[in-house]
C-alpha cells in the first residue's frame, strides 16, 4: 500500500493509503473513535465505528497520546477536518505504545515546556514555526543562487571579534585563545574578493547579557557580501530578498500560518520598494512623538517599534552615527559623522532583522579604525590584506533568521523559532 504524507492526502480521494505517524489526540464515544494522527506534515483525523470492526476498535482504545502508529484506510473529503480530508480506518499497526506523555493538550507554562523542548516541538504550533523556518532558510538560498551568489561557508572558530568584544564566547583552542564566531562577515569579504558575490549561512554566537525576546546566545544568520556593490545595490538586494521570502512563505506555509493565527493580510500588504529613513530623520520621528532622544544614541527596542509603526513594509534606517556602529563601516562621503550602514526594521514592533552596509575599502582608514576600537592588530592582519591587494568598493548584510521567522509568524519570542534555543540561562535540552 502506498505511504502518503498527510499534507499530500488531498490528492488521494477515495484511495486506500498508509500514513505513518504518532497519535496526537483521541476521542471515543464507545461506539465511534476519532484518532488525530500527526506525521510532521500535518494532522489527520481518522474515524472508526465499533460495529464495522470490533477488533480494530479494541486496538484503537489501547493507543495513547504520542504512541507511534501506522494507519491504513480510505481517504475521504471532509471540509471540517484539518487539511480537508479524513481517513476511514481499515487497519492500525502499533509501532510503540508511549509512556504517560508529560505534555497534555491543556496549557502549560513556558518553563515547563522549555524543559521539554525535545517533546514540545511535536505540538502543532511549534511544528508550524519550524516548517516556516525551513521555508525561510530555503528561500534565502534560492533567491541568492538566482542572483548568482555562491555559498562560501565561514568558520565558526575564529581568532578575532567582528561585532565588538563585549559579546564574545571564548574557547580554549589547544592553549590559544579563540572565539565562537559572532558573524561570518570578515571571511565573507575575503570570499567576495575571490568569487564576486557570495553568502554564508550558519550559526553565530553572542554572549548577550540581557534577557529580551529578541536575543539568543546562538542564532542563525544568512550573510551576503558582494564585490563592487555600493550602498544602494546592497539595499536593493536586501529588499528583494525579504520580499521573495514573504511571497514564498505565503505560498508554501498557508496552513502553518493558519495554525499560528497569523494575520496574513499584514504580510500581503508588504510591497516594494521599502521605505527609508535616515537615522537623523528617525530621531525626528521619535521627537515628534514626544520622546526625548539625543542625536548620537543608539535606538532601543521601544524606539525601533515607534519608528516602524507607521509603515506596512519593513523600513530601512540608514546613515547611523559612526560612533555607534562597527569599525568596518564606510563613512558617508558627504557627511563624515555618519556611516553607510543600514538596519532593516520589521513592522509590527519586531525590530531589526537585518544589519549591513558598505565596508571601508581604504587601507589607512581601516587601520586607524581597528586601532580606535582597541582591536588586536595581529588578528586582523589578514583582513587588512584584502585592502592591499585589489581593494574594491563592496557591501553586505546579515539577516537574522529567528527574528525574521518571529515576525513572519507573528509570535512574541524568538526562542520558539529555532528547534533548540540557547538563551541566557538555558542550555538544556
Ligand atoms: O546587526 P548585526 O550585529 O550585524 C552583523 O553581524 C554584521 N556583521 C552582518 C553583516 O553585515 N554581514 O546582526 C545581524 C542580524 C540582526 O539584524 C539580527 O536580526 C540578528 O542578526 N541578531 C540576532 N538574532 C538573535 N539573537 C541575537 N543575539 C542577535 N544578534 C543579532
Ligand atoms: Mg545590528
Residue spans of beta strands (DSSP E) within 288-391: 315-318, 331-332, 335-339, 341-346, 351-358
DSSP state string for 343-357: EEEETTTTEEEEEEE
Q: Please give the pLDDT value at position 83.
A: 84
Q: Which ligand is nearest to the CA of 406?
A: 1
In this structure, the residue with its CA closest to atom 30 of ligand 1 is 215
Question: How far, in Å, are 109, 177, 278, 291, 376 from residue 294 at the CA level?
Answer: 40, 38, 15, 10, 31
Cα 343 from Cα 116, distance rounded (Å) = 35
Angle (CA) 360 365 367, round 5°: 100
Q: Is the pTM of this model over 0.95?
A: yes
Whether 347 contacts 312, CB under 8 Å: yes
**Number of the ligand 1 atom closest to the C-alpha atom of 184:** 12
Cα 53 from Cα 88, distance rounded (Å) = 11
Q: H-helix or E-strand containing 25?
A: strand 16-28
Q: Which of 401, 403, 408 to mutate to test the pocket of ligand 1 (most atoms within 8 A of CB)?
A: 403
Cα 308 from Cα 312, distance rounded (Å) = 8
pLDDT average per 10 residues of sequence, the chain (429 residues): 97 98 96 97 97 96 96 96 93 97 93 97 98 98 98 96 90 96 98 98 94 95 98 98 98 96 98 98 96 96 94 98 97 97 96 98 98 92 98 98 98 97 93
Q: Please give the pLDDT value at position 120.
A: 97
Q: Which ligand is nearest to the CA of 395?
A: 1
Distance 205 CA to ligand 1 centre (A): 10
**Number of the ligand 1 atom closest to the C-alpha atom of 354:** 17
At residue 397, the 3 state secondary structure works out as: strand
Q: H-helix or E-strand containing 231?
A: helix 231-252
Find cell 589578514 and name the residue: 382
In this structure, the residue with its CA closest to atom 11 of ligand 1 is 397
Question: How far, in Å, are 49, 143, 162, 184 from residue 327 at the CA level?
Answer: 70, 29, 9, 15
- Within 6 Å (CB) of ligand 1, which residues are found? 162-163, 183, 185, 206, 208, 215-216, 219, 221, 223, 352-356, 396-398, 400, 402-403, 414
Q: Which ligand is nearest to the CA of 402?
A: 1
In this structure, the residue with its CA closest to atom 22 of ligand 1 is 400
What's the gap between Cα 90 and its chain centre?
41
Whether 393 contacts 228, CB under 8 Å: yes
Q: Please give the pLDDT value at position 164.
A: 85
The domains of the chain, with CATH numbers, are 6-96 (2.40.50.140), 117-417 (3.30.930.10)
Question: How far, in Å, are 79, 177, 336, 381, 415 from residue 169 at the CA level?
Answer: 52, 10, 33, 22, 19
Alpha carbon distance, N-terminus to C-terminus of the chain: 38
Amino acid at each position: 500500500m502506498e505511504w502518503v504524507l498527510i499534507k499530500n492526502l488531498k490528492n488521494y480521494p477515495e484511495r486506500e493509503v498508509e500514513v505513518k505517524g504518532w497519535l496526537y489526540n483521541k476521542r471515543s464515544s464507545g461506539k465511534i473513535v476519532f484518532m488525530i494522527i500527526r506525521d510532521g506534515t500535518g494532522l489527520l483525523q481518522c474515524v472508526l465505528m465499533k460495529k464495522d470492526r470490533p477488533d480494530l476498535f479494541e486496538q484503537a482504545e489501547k493507543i495513547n497520546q504520542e504512541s507511534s502508529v501506522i494507519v491504513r484506510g480510505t481517504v475521504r473529503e471532509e471540509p471540517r477536518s484539518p487539511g480537508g480530508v479524513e481517513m476511514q480506518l481499515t487497519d492500525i499497526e502499533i509501532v510503540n505504545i508511549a509512556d504517560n506523555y508529560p505534555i497534555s493538550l491543556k496549557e502549560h507554562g513556558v518553563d515547563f515546556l522549555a524543559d521539554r523542548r525535545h517533546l514540545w516541538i511535536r505540538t502543532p504550533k511549534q511544528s508550524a514555526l519550524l516548517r516556516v523556518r525551513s521555508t525561510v532558510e530555503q528561500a534565502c538560498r534560492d533567491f541568492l543562487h538566482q542572483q548568482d551568489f555562491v555559498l562560501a561557508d565561514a568558520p565558526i572558530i575564529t581568532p578575532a571579534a567582528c561585532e565588538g568584544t563585549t559579546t564574545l564566547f571564548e574557547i580554549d583552542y589547544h592553549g590559544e585563545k579563540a572565539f565562537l564566531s559572532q558573524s561570518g562577515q570578515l571571511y565573507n569579504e575575503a570570499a567576495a574578493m575571490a568569487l564576486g558575490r557570495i553568502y554564508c549561512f550558519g550559526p553565530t554566537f553572542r554572549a548577550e547579557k540581557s534577557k529580551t525576546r529578541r536575543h539568543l546566545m546562538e542564532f542563525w544568520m544568512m550573510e551576503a557580501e558582494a564585490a563592487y556593490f555600493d550602498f544602494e545595490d546592497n539595499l536593493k538586494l536586501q529588499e528583494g530578498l525579504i520580499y521573495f521570502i514573504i511571497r514564498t512563505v505565503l505560498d508554501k506555509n498557508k496552513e502553518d500560518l493558519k495554525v499560528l493565527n497569523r494575520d496574513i493580510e499584514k504580510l500581503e500588504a508588504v510591497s516594494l520598494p521599502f521605505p527609508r529613513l535616515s537615522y537623523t530623520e528617525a530621531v525626528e520621528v521619535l521627537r515628534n512623538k514626544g520622546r526625548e532622544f539625543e542625536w548620537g544614541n543608539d535606538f532601543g527596542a521601544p524606539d525601533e517599534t515607534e519608528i516602524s509603526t507607521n509603515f506596512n513594509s519593513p523600513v530601512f534606517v540608514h546613515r547611523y552615527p559612526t560612533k555607534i556602529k562597527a569599525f568596518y563601516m564606510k563613512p558617508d562621503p558627504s557627511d563624515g559623522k555618519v556611516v553607510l550602514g543600514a538596519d532593516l526594521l520589521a513592522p509590527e514592533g519586531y525590530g531589526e532583522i537585518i544589519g549591513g552596509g558598505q565596508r571601508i575599502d581604504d587601507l589607512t582608514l581601516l587601520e586607524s579604525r581597528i586601532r580606535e576600537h582597541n582591536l588586536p592588530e595581529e588578528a586582523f592582519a589578514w583582513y587588512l590584506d584584502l585592502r592591499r591587494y585589489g581593494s574594491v568598493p563592496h557591501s553586505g548584510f546579515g539577516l537574522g533568521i529567528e527574528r525574521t521567522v518571529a515576525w513572519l509568524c507573528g509570535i512574541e519570542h524568538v526562542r520558539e523559532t529555532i528547534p533548540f534555543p540557547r538563551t541566557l540561562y538555558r542550555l538544556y535540552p
